[in-house]
Each structure stands twice: as structure tokens, then as C-alpha cells.
Amino acid sequence: KEETKTDDFNRACDHILVLLEDSLQCIERGSWGTSVFLSITAIEEVAKAVIGLYRREGQVEQVKRGKDNLFNHQEKHRMAVLPTVFMGKRLEEALGKGRCDELLKEAANGDFRNLRESALYFSNDNGQFVTPANTIPKDQAKEFFLLAVETADDRLVGYTGHTGIIENRLDEMFLAVAHP
């Protein structure tokens, strides 16, 4: 049974890595909105993976979906983006201390939720269609990608041996975007 828990966690980590790889490819293609959406989704999946380590079938009461924080985007952002994500220096060096402080507040205040929506969907704003291409700049795509990578590194690496392999790829991706 313990091996299955480890395998489950490793599969979740692999899925998060795929989301980040896809986000990186979007940056390379200039699809900033989709990159932001995938980065925020990766952050949400990090929260689910970490919480999933502690939730065990039969040990947790069944909770209605509407009351389960793992079905709430804002709560997943809060659970994943903790102050420890910013303790290493590389995110601060890439984005600046002020922006790191803002990102931590934005995650806690639920600001990622609106960004997530505007990164994927177009809207009708006073009779004009506003698309993600109109609202999500390259720099924002890069900073959310770096935040997602650092969140995955901070929150996932170290639980299993498999995460060491993932850590190497996270480091490569971070460097590719932070220092192109």
C-alpha cells in the first residue's frame, strides 16, 4: 500500500512537470495567456499533490465538492504559494523582492483566480472582444512560469526519490526563462 501512495505522488509530480513543460512551450511560441493559465494550473496541482499525501481513503470524511478546498481555485493558490516558495534567492533575483512580495499577496488574496480566467477566455468589454493576447504580456507569462516552477520545487521536491529527477528539469526550465 505504501508503494502505491508513492507511485500516486510520483504520477502527480509527472503531471505537474508536463503542465510546466507545456507552459514553457507556450512562452517559446508567444502564447502568453495559455502559458499563464498552465502555470496557475500547475500551482493548483501542486496543492492537490501535497494535500493528497495526507488524505487517505477511509480516513477522511467525504466532503461535498463545494466545501472541499481542493475544488476551490483560490484556496489551492493559498495552499501552494507559501512564504517558503520565496526563501530561496533565485526567484527574488529573477523578479525582484518587491514583485515576489506582491505575488505572495496576490496568491493569498485570490487575485490569481481572475488572472487565470482572463488568461484563457476572451471577454466582451463594452462591445469589444478582449482576448488573452490583449491582456497578458510576455513578462507576466515569464514571472508566473518562474513562480510555478519555484512552487513545484519548494513544495514537491524531497518527498520521494523520483522528485530529484524532476528537480533537475525544474532547474533547467527556471534557468531557461530567468536567464535566456
Q: In this predicted model, what pLDDT tens digit does every residue of 16-54 receive, in sequence order? A: 999 999 999 999 999 999 999 999 999 999 999 988 777
* CA dist list (Å): 4 to 10, 53, 155, 157, 160: 10, 11, 20, 18, 12
Q: Whole-prediction pTM value?
A: 0.89
pLDDT of residue 166: 94
DSSP-assigned beta bridge partners for residue 128: 125
Grid coordinates of 63: 466532503
Q: Counting Cβ atoms within 10 Å, is residue 54 exposed (0-12), middle (13-18) or buried (19+)?
A: exposed
121 within 8 A of 36, measured Cβ to Cβ:
no
Place of cell 500547475: 42
With b meaning 16 or more CB within 10 Å and e meaning fewer, what string describes 19-42? bbebbbebbeeebbbbbbbbbbbb
Burial of 83 per CB tally in 10 Å (0-12, 13-18, 19+): exposed
Helix, strand, or coil (residue 88)? coil
| Residue 22: per-residue pLDDT | 98
Tell me the pLDDT tens digit for each residue of 106-151: 999 989 988 999 999 999 999 999 999 999 999 999 999 999 999 9
Does the pLDDT of residue 3 top 80, yes or no? no
Given this model, what pLDDT does residue 66 score?
53
Render the burial of 64-73: b for 16+ CB within 10 Å, e for the rest.
Answer: eeeeeeeebb
Considering only CA atoms, which of 86, 12, 5, 84 is closest in space to residue 42?
Answer: 12
